[in-house]
């Protein structure tokens, strides 16, 4: 499968603009991943966008909200957020250059490959790459990715350029409260000599290929063993039948779970509706509750009636 770029735009150095594309430099596919399964039924656990008192909601009805006070939000539509004009959405400008070792490792976040977008961009791209290598400098700028503007550094990497997003200063925690309890005492010279000699003995060029993810390897071996074993429990998920509206009908399951919860509460000696303050009413989900707010009119649509019959 061909890699898909995460960002397309211009790498700018003063008056020179170079068409570039950004690709993730890391992958997680090599790691073992699991899905959550409901063991009694063998069904896969899924997560839905739900609103309290409403249930599952359509994706198109979701907007972003900023909580300016407790439980108070100002709503922003996607087109309003998109209208915020930032030059870094399409242009990564190198505004400063620093020594390659000047940025503390603590600030580095995620690596990306920055490549020329076409043949015409390659000449200028190579000039920037070689100039950075020759001066042992790192270029600094800002780039907008996935709705956030990141501080980023660019440096030569093999035949190309590596872009690494950086944390802003206010994102770095102060280590003093954590390190302040470490006593400032002199270290034994003999112990220091032994530790230094051990470090020197084990010093070698870094090669990431010599290190393996032993935990993932052990999990893969365990899975392979379970696959071969006849005693290993397996389940097969059935194809899901689409319902009207393209949404899974979880209302029946939800209603059954709520009724079962109410039955369990009754056995445990919970208060009855008559003992609660305020008149009993029905919510939109059909579960009795109390309160001063008037109940909403029940939904009399055919789909709702059908769900109630099944419940």
What residues contact 280, with CB distance under 8 A and at least 6 apart? 273, 274, 288, 289, 290
Assess contact for 280 and 289: CB atoms under 8 A.
Answer: yes
| Contact (Cβ atoms closer than 8 angstroms) between residue 123 and residue 168 | no
Strand partners, 111: 164
pLDDT interval class at 195 (50, 70, 90): very high
DSSP track, 232-259? S----PPPPPP-GGGS---HHHHHHHHH
59, 48 in Cβ contact below 8 A?
no
Position with higher pLDDT, 23 vs 59: 23
> What is the C-alpha separation between 32 and 37, in angstroms, rounded?
16
Q: Is 52 helix (H, G, I), strand (E, B) or coil?
A: coil
pTM confidence score: 0.62
**Interacting residues of 206 by C-beta distance below 8 A, sequence separation 6+:** none
Look at residue 82 and tell me whether its pLDDT is greater than 80: no
Q: In which band, very low, low, confident or very high, does the pLDDT at 34 lie, cut at 50, 70 and 90?
A: confident
Mean pLDDT of 195-207: 92
Query: How far, in Å, are 207, 259, 261, 281 from residue 270 at the CA level?
Result: 64, 14, 11, 18
The length of the chain in residues reads 311
Per-residue pLDDT at 167: 96
Instruction: Give the pair of three-digit tokens for residue 107.
Output: 């600030």
- Please check whether residue 308 is in contact with residue 254, taking contact to mean a CB–CB distance below 8 angstroms: no
Find the range with the poorest average confidence among 69-73, 117-121, 131-135: 69-73
Q: Which value, to the nearest 10 degrees, does the dihedral of the CA atoms of residues 154, 94, 160, 149 take?
A: 60
Q: Provide the pLDDT confidence category of residue 245 given band limits of 50, 70 and 90.
A: very low
- Compute the average pLDDT of residues 136-164: 94
Question: CA 287, CA 280: separation in Å to the nearest integer?
Answer: 10
More confident residue, 131 or 254: 131
Partner residues linked to 298 by β-bridges? none
Please check the confidence at residue 21 and state whether its pLDDT lies above 60. Answer: yes
For CA atoms 191, 193, 195, 201, the dihedral sign is negative
> What is the number of other CB atoms lying within 10 angstroms of the CB of residue 99?
10
Which value, in Å, is the radius of gyration of the alpha carbons in the chain?
30
For residues 160-181, give the mean pLDDT: 94
Do the Cβ atoms of 231 and 289 come closer than 8 Å? Answer: no
Supply the mean pLDDT for the chain: 79
Q: How far apart are CA 205 and CA 269, in angstroms?
A: 69
The Cα 227–Cα 225 span in angstroms is 5
pLDDT surpassing 60 at residue 178: yes
Tokens at residue 103, please?
Answer: 């940025």
């Amino acid at each position: 499968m061909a890699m898909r770029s995460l960002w397309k735009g211009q790498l700018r150095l003063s008056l020179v603009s170079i068409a570039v594309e950004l690709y993730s430099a890391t992958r997680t596919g090599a790691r073992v991943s699991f899905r959550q399964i409901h063991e009694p039924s063998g069904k896969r656990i899924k997560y839905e966008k739900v609103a309290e008192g409403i249930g599952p909601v359509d994706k198109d009805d979701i907007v972003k909200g900023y909580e300016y006070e407790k439980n108070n939000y100002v709503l922003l539509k996607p087109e309003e957020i998109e209208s915020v004009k930032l030059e870094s959405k399409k242009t990564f400008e190198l505004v400063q250059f620093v020594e390659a070792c000047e940025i503390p490792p603590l600030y580095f976040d995620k690596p990306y490959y920055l490549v020329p977008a076409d043949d015409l961009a390659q000449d200028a791209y190579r000039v920037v790459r070689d100039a950075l290598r020759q001066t042992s400098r790192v270029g600094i700028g800002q780039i907008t990715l996935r709705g956030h503007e990141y501080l980023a550094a660019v440096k030569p990497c093999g035949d190309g350029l590596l872009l690494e997003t950086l944390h802003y200063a206010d994102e770095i925690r102060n280590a003093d409260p954590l390190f302040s309890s470490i006593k400032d005492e002199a270290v034994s010279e003999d112990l220091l000599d032994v530790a230094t000699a051990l470090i020197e003995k084990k010093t070698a060029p870094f090669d990431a290929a010599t290190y393996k993810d032993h935990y993932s390897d052990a999990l893969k071996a365990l899975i392979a063993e379970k696959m071969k074993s006849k005693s290993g429990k397996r389940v097969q998920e059935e194809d899901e039948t689409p319902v009207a509206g393209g949404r899974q009908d979880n209302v029946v399951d939800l209603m059954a779970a709520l009724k079962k919860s109410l039955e369990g509460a009754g056995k445990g000696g919970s208060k009855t509706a008559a003992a609660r303050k305020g008149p009993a009413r029905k919510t939109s989900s059909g579960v009795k509750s109390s309160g001063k707010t008037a109940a909403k009119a029940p939904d009399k649509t055919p789909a709702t009636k059908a769900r109630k019959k099944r419940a």
